[in-house]
Structure 1
Amino acid sequence: MSLSLYDLVHFALMAAGFALFAYFLYTWASRQEVGRRYRPAMHAGLCLAAIATVSYLVLFAKWDSGFTLVDGVYEPNAEARFTGSTRYPDWAVTVPLLTVELLAVCSLTGRRARNLRATAMAAAFLMILTGYVGAQLVADGRDRTALVVWGLVSTAFFAYLYVALIGAVRASIPHMGREAGVSLRNATVVLLGSFGVYPLVYAIPVFADVTPAWSATMQVAYSAADVVAKVGFGLLVHKVALLRTAEDVAAGVDTHPEPVWLSNVHHSEGVLPEVRHPHGHSAPELLREREGHDDGVRGGATRTASDRG
Structure 2
Amino acid sequence: MEGEVNLLVLATQYMFWVGFVGMAAGTLYFLVERNSLAPEYRSTATVAALVTFVAAIHYYFMKDAVGTSGLLSEIDGFPTEIRYIDWLVTTPLLLVKFPLLLGLKGKASRTLLASLIIADIIMIIAGYIGESSINIAGGFTQLGLWSYVIGCIAWLYIIYLLFTNVTKAAMDKPAPIRKALLQMRLFILIGWAIYPIGYAVTLFASGVEIQLVRELIYNFADLINKVGFGLVAFFAVKTMSAVKKSQLS
Q: 1:244, CA displacement in angstroms?
A: 3.3
Measured in 1, the distance between the counterparts of 2:119 and 2:108 equals 16
Distance 2:36 2:29 in 1: 11
Task: From the superposition, tell whether residues 39 and 192 of structure 1 become closer, same or farther in structure 2 (CA, over 3 Å).
Answer: farther
- 1:81 matches 2:77: yes
1:54 Cα offset (Å): 0.3
Report what 1:10 is aligned to: 13
Counterpart residue number, 1:127: 123
Alignment-derived partner of residue 157 in structure 1: 154
Q: Is the 8 A contact 1:130 1:151 kept in 2?
A: yes
Offset from partner CA, 1:14-36 (integer Å, 9 cap, x none) = 01110100000001011122233
Describe how 1:194-273 pairs up with structure 2 within 5 A: 194-212=191-209, 214-246=210-242, 249=244, 259=245, 268-269=246-247, 271=248
Answer 1 or 2: higher relative contact order, Cα 8 Å, separation at least 6.
Answer: 2
Counterpart AA for 1:99? L
Q: 1: distance between equivalents of 2:174 and 2:204?
A: 46
The TM-score with structure 2 as length reference comes to 0.88
2:43 matches 1:40: yes
Q: Which amino acid in 1 is paired with 2:150?
A: V
Which residue in the other structure is 1:292 paired with? none
More strand by share: 1
The alignment covers a number of residue pairs equal to 245
CA deviation profile, 1:29-84 (whole Å, cap 9, x unmatched): 1112223333332222121111100000001122226xx77xxx52145xx32333
C-alpha separation between the residues in 2 aligned to 1:56 and 1:17? 5
- Name the CA distance, whole Å, in 2 between partners of 1:87 and 1:60: 11
> In the alignment, is residue 171 of structure 1 matched against residue 168 of structure 2?
yes
Query: Does residue 98 of structure 1 match 2:94?
Result: yes
Show the counterpart of 2:186: 189
Deviation at 1:86, TM superposition (A): 1.9
Cα distance in 2 between the residues matched to 1:87 and 1:131: 11
Query: Cα distance, 1:4 vs. partner?
Result: 0.9
Question: Contact conserved, 1:103 with 1:168, CA < 8 A, in 2?
Answer: no
Moved more, 136-145 or 22-31: 136-145
Pair 1:64 & 2:64 matched: no
- 8 Å CA contact retained: 2:12, 2:215: yes
Letter in 1 for 2:73: E
* 1:53 maps to which of 52, 56, 67: 56
Deviates more, 1:105-114 or 1:147-156: 105-114
Structure 1 residue 138: Cα displacement = 6.8
Task: Report the equivalent of 1:145.
Answer: 142
The answer for unaligned runs of 5 or more in structure 1 is 250-258, 260-267, 272-302, 304-309
CA distance in structure 2 between the partners assigned to 1:33 and 1:187 by the alignment: 22
Distance 1:216 1:82 in 2: 9
Contact 2:67 2:74 in 1 (8 A): no
8 Å CA contact 1:41, 1:100 repeated in 2: no
Structure with larger Rg: 1
